[in-house]
Structure 1
């Protein structure tokens, strides 16, 4: 494979090719990856009304970007993986840091649910989905679109949610 095939904006990774495949041509990243997290957040949201969703939340497992596309039905999954490898290293690292935070928050919610899906736990986990995880998904979306300054905002939002939780 030549360098032009692995350089964003050139060859197989031309801007028009990436855009047509629903991959950001400037970053080489696809928002389809966020579906992995949006699904578990949706399940966490439903817990207060449907506690039996706890099993599905507990079944959720972390999945990195490449693994997600290897398993997905995304039409251009090979292109998404190739473009990810060509994405700016700092941007990939930024996205991966946010993903680790999301994975950690979901694991925290799963630990709570392992003790049982009573109404208080379900409400707490649903609140975590909205106050802690959704802002991180927003920051991940920002990273996919080339914004690296959203991380501080997401961390501040998460820290504020922690403070609010302590003081009820």
Structure 2
């Protein structure tokens, strides 16, 4: 039995009865960092003055989020991250990198739209970005919760030839995005 397997098995025992997933060793608390941003983006069309406050949001790695949080098991979450399966860690990190890039592009587009007072463009940018980010948050949630195939779906979704944020068209609807993230059997598996 390898040392890595022993450590992983030990961490799976340590995270029992916490909100850290005992299969993946990941916590959805990390997603709060992105959910906060989505909520702020949703406010900007009606409150453009929120843009400056929203732009104070900065990307954080998994460990940085927990270092700065009041999460009860933050030290355990940070330590367990070293024992997450490579495929899950890479899928999560790739999706987070895509979210961070989307945020950067969103802020640049919003600066231009708000500066010209284009309320319709501001609303389109915020709605498109918010929906795109929510889809990626859902994808991360699938990875964190160990939904079968979630990591593979995340890898498949990272086609670099597609622009991260295309504000010329609305994002996919939630129903279409949800089909990509989880099918009914994957949802049922969460409750088994």
Q: CA RMSD in A?
A: 2.7
Instruction: Give the TM-score, by structure 1 length.
Output: 0.82
Q: 1:155 to 1:45 in 2, by over 3 A?
A: farther
Find out whether 1:165 has 2:169 as its counterpart.
yes
SS at match of 1:20: coil
Pick closer, same or farther for the CA change 1:69–1:5 going to 2, 3 Å. Answer: farther
The alignment status of 1:96 with 2:93, answered yes or no, reads yes
The number of residues matched between the two structures is 159
Partner of residue 50 from structure 1, selected from 37, 47, 56: 47
Shift of 1:4: 8.0
Q: Does 1:27 align with 2:24?
A: yes
Question: How do 1:70-149 and structure 2 match up within 5 A?
Answer: 70-115=67-112, 117=114, 118=117, 119-146=119-146, 147-149=150-152
Equivalent residue for 1:150? 153
Q: What SS class does the counterpart of residue 142 from structure 1 fall into? A: helix
Distance 2:16 2:167 in 1: 41
Moved over 6 A (4+): none
1:154 Cα deviation (Å)? Answer: 5.1
- Contact 1:91–1:143 (Cα < 8 Å) also in 2: yes
Q: Per-residue CA shift, 1:22-60, capped at 9, x if unaligned?
A: 000000000000011011111001111121211122111
Structure-2-length-normalised TM-score: 0.72
- Return 5+ residue gaps in structure 2 as ranges: 171-192
In the TM superposition, what is the alpha-carbon distance from 1:21 to its structure 2 partner?
2.0
Unaligned runs of 5+ in 1: none
Structure ranking higher in helix proportion: 1
On the 8 A contact 2:44/2:50 being kept in 1, the answer is yes
